[in-house]
Structure formats: structure tokens, C-alpha cells
Amino acid sequence: MGISRRDFCRTVAGSAASVAVLSMMPGTLLAKWSDKAFTANELDAAIAAKYGSQPIEDSTAIEIKAPEIAENGAFVPVTVSTTIPGVTNLSIFTPANFNPLVASFDVLPRMKPDVSFRMRMAKTSNVIVIAQAGGKLYRATREVKVTIGGCGG
Amino acid sequence: MKKVLSLLSLLVLMPSGSMLLAGGCSSALIDQAEAARKEAAALRNEWRDTASLIASAKEACEQGQQAKADELASRALNESQQAVAQAQFMEKNWEMMIPEH
Amino acid sequence: MMNNKILRRLMPAALMVSAVMVARPAHATDYQKLVDADTQAFQSYFQKEFPEVKLADFANGVYALDEDARTQWQEMEEFPPYELDVEAGKALFNKPFANGKSLASCFPNGGAVRGQYPYFDEKRGEVVTLEMAINECRVKNGEKPWPWQKGDLAKVSAYMAYISRGQKVDVKVKSKAAYDAYMKGKKFFYAKRGQLNMSCSGCHMEYAGRHLRAEIVSPALGQTTHFPVFRSKWGEIGTLHRRYAGCNKNIGAKPFPAQSEEYRDLEFFQTAMSNGLEYNGPASRK
Amino acid sequence: MKIKASIQNNVTSVKMLIPHPMETGRRKDQSGALVPAHFITEVTATCGGDTVFHAELGPGVSKDPYLSFQFDGAKAGDMLSVSWVDSKGESGKGEAAIAAM
């Protein structure tokens, strides 16, 4: 279980580097953030803002790995992967959150459609993943129960 | 939060004499509850809400809500007495609480 | 309810207890032997309760007992959130004080000394914890002590635990004074307190591995090996005594201050009960 | 930030932890005032001149975001660069050499 410090990769996070990045960072990157989708309060509105209104097909080719009962809603580990060919985007939604869109991953040419992260869940709800491939949308759903922490330490 | 806590403890620590001067409030029940709370604290077994119950009782008393003050104070007194009894009982019997398989 | 429980246990326990109390050896008491016997009984309680769990795995807390929770925890441990705290703790450990010294100048072995704490300081006549030693080093060098429950102190403690991983828990009780502190901790652990009339042992021995509402209660064995912990509920790293205070509050008892004699004695006792396990902190918990 | 990148069977696995409060804008501080929203909006990773990862995040991502992904076509020793920007226009950057497994 012990992770040797030697395994940690060298990281550079100097302030000079940050400044350099800020000036290099094209304004378009900031503008590109899907603000309408992220600020939508309803699931359907968030999906429509992200992808436009079009039919969504349920798919078993999307796998959502998430706990049945989350230990804590502040840190719910989620892994999303798919075998749908030509997938270009994977987005994760949860309708019970104030803003249902949680994160959106572009699946770039060299990247595998397989990502993990930790998300917040306000309460027991579904985790909904939409995969975009060849202009079509696919969906998978998984329920995660959220309880409140107390005596588990 | 810290401010609230220190305010509470100030209220609790304030002797009833000065309360009399300050608010013209006196309650034997509150004094009794406070004495019992101190006894529990001396036995290192004060319960969580006793001090705040007493503080609320004093506040109600100051505002002339005698019935409410008495109700809160008797709850605090009851808690403190239970805490004292619990501590005394555990002092003698704690080793019997060791679970066996 | 209190009476029922006592009646159930009164007879055999009372006899055993008085036998121990009465049997005074002619030569000086071997306190370590008394403690070792307690440790053995304590650990065998858990091994009988959970025959499928390896002794060493109790250091992993509730995750030794529950598969679904373990999977989530392992996913957290893939890149545990406390790694940022360990990194910050390392910087703080080596950061010079105003006088040019640093925490590093107070601790041997580069700070990999988790296994030496807590210990009973015979001269001072009290239990010294790692967190206490860290703050005492600061004060000795003219710095202000850090708050006890979280923040910088917890981060340094996390760093020191991290570089000490694998050290064996080996609490020594060599004197009457040390044994007194140990017994105070033991009493604290088993005595019921608070509005709910609950004890550490009532939950973390008798209810370990079972559900308390939606929670699975962690076993007392190994609890002290993995602190400080990044608790999802806190959203940050915190110390063992912060957790003690939280537990006391939960059962309706007024918590003691972090590093109070009560909590240090409790840590001393509880850690002795995990003698032989390995230190594996810091850890992530829910 | 902390980045771990390792390669096995020509697939590079990247895991990162970015220290960031990820304030949702809906949390209240101790005085009851709303803490303004402040969260990472985009994370980009490049390797050998190619963008190999691009994610948009919202406030639903946990504090100190953890992200993990995999990509092809790198070799041990290659540098992986990660940069992020947040809702206040602040940014950060990190680098790691890809380690052989």
C-alpha cells in the first residue's frame, strides 16, 4: 500500500511557470468552457446546452464504475469507459445537483475513452453518462446512494 | 463559532449575584443546575448540551420567561444529575464493561 | 438497560477483576506484562469476532471489514487526497524558524519517528504524543504553537507518519506512573458516558463491523495506527484527537480539548492495544 | 499539483491531483455568508506537441480534483505537461516525466 516518494513524478509548479501559462493560454480556451451547459439547473437543459436537442439512445456499451452506496457525497469516485467506436466526448451528469453537468471529457485521438475522477453528489441520485460518437448520443445510467458520514472513521 | 462559545462560557461562569445586578433575574433552579453541572465537570463527565441549556435558561430568565427558564433549567439539572450518577457508577464498575468473547 | 448489561457480565467479570487486583506479586510489578496480557486479550477479541480478517489488516480500519467500502477506499488511495498534505507537511518540517532552526532539528532519523510516540515521559510524568512533541519543538524555538486539530500541525504529523510507514507499534509501560496513565486511558475507553450512555468499546468493539444507521462501525483495534486522516466529511486532514472529540460529541458527551490528559491517556491505551501492528498513516477515511 | 504518469504496454496512465478549493458558490462560511464560486473550468494535458487530454469541469467536481486518463503513443521519459484554468481566470501548470512500469 505504501507508495514510495520516489515514484512521484517530478513536478514543476513555480509561479513563473504559472504566469507564463496565463499569458500563453489563449482566450479562446476560457471562452470555450460550456458555460450554458454547466450553469443549467435541469438535466435536460444541461444536455441540450451541451449537445443540442437530439435523440439519445440508451447503451450498454458505456460502463459507469461508481459505488452502490457512496461513503461520502463530497468524494464519490467515478470511472467512465466505453467501447462505442469513434467516441469524441464523455460527459457526466447527476440530476439532483444544483448544476447537473459535473464534467465533460473530450476523447482526443490519442486518448482512451476511459476516465476517472471524484465528484460531489448532493443526495442519492443517478449518475448519467452521455457519450457522443459520430454525431449520435448514447446514454448510460447508474444509481448511487448517498448517506451522511458519522461513525465510520 | 468561537465567539459564540466564549460568550456562552462567559454566561455560564458569571456568578448569579452579578446576574441579579445585570438583569434582575434569579432562579434557584438555574443555580442548582449550574452546581450539578460543575459537579459532573469535576468528575470529568459533563454532557454535551448541559452548559448551553443553562445559558438558554438564563437568557429566558433575563427576558422574564420564567416558565421557559425553569423548564430549561430542570432539563439541565436532570442531565447533570444523570451525568454525576453515570460517572460514579462507571468509576466503580467500568471494568465490567470490558466485553468478552 | 444499564443494569441488564451489568447483570449479564457481573459475575464472571467481577471475579476475574478482583482476582487480578488481589494478586499482588511479592517482587516489583511487571507493568509491561499486565499491559501485554490486555493487548493479547484485546486482539484476540477481534480475531474471534472476525476470524477471516488478518491481524495486520485491522490497521486499515473499517475497510478490513467491508468489501464495498474497501473498493471505494482503494480508489481514493489510488491518489489519496492526503498526498498534498504530506507534501505541505514536508515543506513545513524543513522550513526554518526565525532562529534558523527547524522542526527537523528537533527530531532524529529525519523525522521518521512515528513509532516512538506516544510514550510515557517518566521525568514529566505524562504521556507525550507526536503532535505535542511537534508543537513543543516550535515553542522551544520561539514559535507559536499550531492549533491541535487540523491545518499545519496535522500536515506535519501526516508527513512524519508517511515517512515512518511500516514502523511497529510498540507502546511501553514500564513504571507505576506509566501504568496509572494507561489505566486512566483504559477506563476512559470502557466507561460509558454522555446522553447516549455509550463507550468507545461499546461501539468500536461490540458493534465493530455492524451497521449503525448507514455506517459501518470501525474496529478499535488499529484505529490509532493510521492517523492523521483526510476525512471526506471534514474535506481536510485532521488529528486523532479531533476524531476523539467528534466521537464524544456524537454520544452527547462534552468533548475534552485536543491533547488534554484524558485524550493523551486514551491514545496511550488504545495504541498499546495495537502493539505489534504497523503504523500506516496518514490515511483517507470517509 | 501532483502528477503520476507511467507507461505499460504502450499505454500511458496519468493520475493527477490539483490543489484547488472548487468552491461551488453555494457554500456558506462560518459567518453565514456565501463563499463565491471558484472552481477549475478546464484541464489540458499535452505530450510531444499533441493535446492528449482536455476536460471541462464544473463545481460538481470534488475539492482538490483528482483526474485520471490514459493515452497512446508516448514512451518512457517523455514529458507530460498539464495546465488548468479556473473560473476566476487563475491558472496552474505541472509536469511529469513518464515512468516505465
Tens of pLDDT, residues C195-252: 999 999 999 999 998 887 777 889 999 999 999 999 988 889 999 999 999 999 999 9
Quote the number of domains for chain C: 2
Helix, strand, coil percentages for chain C (3-state, nearest 5): 55, 10, 35
Q: Is residue C11, in this structure, part of any structural domain at all?
A: no
Please report residues of D whose CB lies closer than 8 A to that of A106. Answer: 54-55
Domain that holds residue C122: 83-162
CA distance A1 to chain D (A): 16
- pLDDT tens digits along D7-21: 999 999 999 999 999
- The interface predicted TM-score (ipTM) is 0.72
Chains B and C lie in contact, requiring 3 or more CB pairs less than 8 Å apart: yes
> Does A32 score more than 60 pLDDT?
yes
Instruction: Chain A: give the shortest CA distance to residue D94, in Å.
Output: 5
Mutation choice for B interface testing from C6, C192, C221 by most B CBs within 10 A: C192
pLDDT tens-digit map of C104-151: 999 999 999 999 999 999 999 999 999 999 999 999 999 999 999 999
Within 50-79 of A, beta carbons closer than 8 Å to D belong to 74-76, 79
Check: pTM over 0.80? Answer yes or no.
no
- pLDDT one-digit tens code per residue, B44-95: 999 999 999 999 999 999 998 999 999 999 999 999 999 999 999 999 999 9
C193 & C265 share domain = yes
Residue C140 and residue C117 share a domain: yes
Rounded CA-CA distance D80/A12 in Å is: 11
Tell me, yes or no, whether C116 lies in a domain: yes
Query: Is residue C182 within 8 Å of residue C272, measured between CB atoms?
Result: yes
Query: How confident is the model over D60-83, as a mean pLDDT?
Result: 95
Alpha-carbon span C127 to C116, nearest angstrom: 12
- What mean pLDDT comes out for the span A51-77? 91
Q: Residues C230, C280: one domain? A: yes
Cβ distance of A153 and C217 shorter than 8 Å: no
- Residue C78: its chain D contacts at CB < 8 A? 15, 66, 68
CA distance B10 to B13: 5
Residue of chain D with shortest Cα separation from A22: D91
Q: DSSP state, D32?
A: S
Q: For the segment C9-30, what is each residue's pLDDT rounded down to a tens digit?
A: 444 444 444 444 555 555 678 9
Same domain, C68 and C190: yes
Question: Which CATH number fits the domain that encloses residue C266?
Answer: 1.10.760.10
D51 and chain A: CB distance < 8 Å anywhere?
yes
Please state, in angstroms and rounded to a whole number, the distance separating the CA atoms of residues A6 and D23.
32
CATH H-level, domain A35-147: superfamily = SoxY domain (2.60.40.2470)
- Which of C109, C131, C162 marks a domain boundary? C162
> Of C107, C140, C162, at which residue does a domain stop?
C162
- In whole angstroms, give the CA distance from residue C197 to residue A22: 58
Looking at residues A61-68, what average pLDDT do you find?
94
Cell 499569458 sits on residue: A23
Query: Which of C162, C186, C201 is the C-terminal boundary of a domain?
Result: C162
Residue D12 β-bridge partners: D7, D71
